[in-house]
Amino acid sequence: MDKAEFEQWMEVTRSSRHRWVEDEVTRLNGRGALYYMGGENGLFIKIGTDGVLRAGTYEGALPHMGEAVFTVKAEKKFDSWEQAYQQALEAGGIKFLMDMFSYDEREQPVISM
């Protein structure tokens, strides 16, 4: 990762200080969905492809969520990903809903390996 990519990722991480953000990398890699809020340290909701919903806290997302340490505070298995997502929407309330369906122009960079 070069300096420009680092700065771009830091901007994505900073953008989550006051709003829920989806980690596109998790979804694009076929690992379910990860939503987070809080910047470097905050809250997360993760839905596995197996329908397991996890929620808790994370720390150390520098420069991005791939570097964070997650602490699961609650976990529940649903029959499907869709049911788990519905529960996440209900638990997150109006703030989560508004953040998920509002546009944010910050694009998460693709890092070549």
Taking the CA atoms of the chain, what radius of gyration do you get in angstroms? 14
What is the torsional sign of CA 9, 11, 13, 19? Answer: negative
Q: What is the pTM of this model?
A: 0.83
Per-residue pLDDT for the chain (113 aa), expressed as one digit of tens each?
A: 788 888 887 888 888 898 999 998 899 999 999 999 999 999 999 999 999 999 999 999 988 888 999 999 999 999 999 999 999 999 989 999 898 887 665 555 554 44
CB 88 within 8 A of CB 47: yes
CB 46 within 8 A of CB 30: no
